[in-house]
């Protein structure tokens, strides 16, 4: 699956004010809901529930919060570039400034895992992370993430 199958320019946000992990997850719910049919409270509650199982702070300043949602009918992605780093209980202990959110239908198990694997491989590339952090606006951010190749 290509990243532009789940991410739209409308769900790509640059220079977002972070705050705390909880506030960020609440903001994520609201911002995704503005550009989808999904309920902001449902997004927030399901992301919080997933975080309680273990942090989705991936390392290297990246978090990939994800969850299944009842009223989600196809995978939905959103990319957030934060103005300043926030503590996300990441595995490496480092604060986070790039967040890729993945919401999938409740029955999407294998597809969910494949998308997470693709995102992790893509965001594991140091040069891509640097470009994403340097992006001046959401349009540039979207262009960088959707044209980046996995691997190298």
Distances (CA, A) of 104 to 59, 109, 120, 122, 126: 22, 9, 16, 19, 27
Choosing from 5, 37, 66, 112, which is the catalytic residue? 66
- Cβ proximity of 95 and 61 under 8 Å: yes
Radius of gyration of the chain (CA): 14
Q: How many Å apart are CA 50 and CA 32, to the nearest integer?
A: 17
Q: How many Å apart are CA 11 and CA 7, to the nearest integer?
A: 6
Q: Any residues with CB less than 8 A from the CB of 9 and at least 6 apart, and which?
A: 138, 139, 142
Check if 66 is active-site.
yes
What is the torsional sign of CA 104, 85, 35, 149?
negative
Residues belonging to the active site: 66
């Amino acid at each position: 699956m290509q990243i532009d199958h789940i991410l739209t320019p409308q769900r790509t946000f640059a220079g977002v004010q972070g705050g705390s992990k909880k506030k960020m997850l609440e903001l994520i719910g609201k911002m995704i809901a503005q550009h989808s049919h999904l309920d902001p409270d449902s997004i927030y509650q399901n992301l919080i529930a997933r975080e309680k199982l273990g942090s989705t702070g991936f390392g290297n300043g990246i978090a990939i919060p994800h969850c299944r949602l009842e009223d989600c009918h196809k995978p939905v992605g959103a990319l957030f570039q934060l103005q300043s780093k926030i503590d996300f209980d990441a595995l490496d202990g480092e604060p986070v400034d790039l967040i890729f959110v993945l919401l999938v239908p409740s029955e999407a198990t294998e597809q969910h895992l494949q998308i997470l694997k693709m995102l992790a491989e893509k965001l594991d590339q140091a040069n891509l992370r640097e470009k994403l952090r340097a992006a001046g606006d959401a349009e540039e951010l979207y262009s960088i993430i959707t044209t980046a190749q996995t691997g190298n």
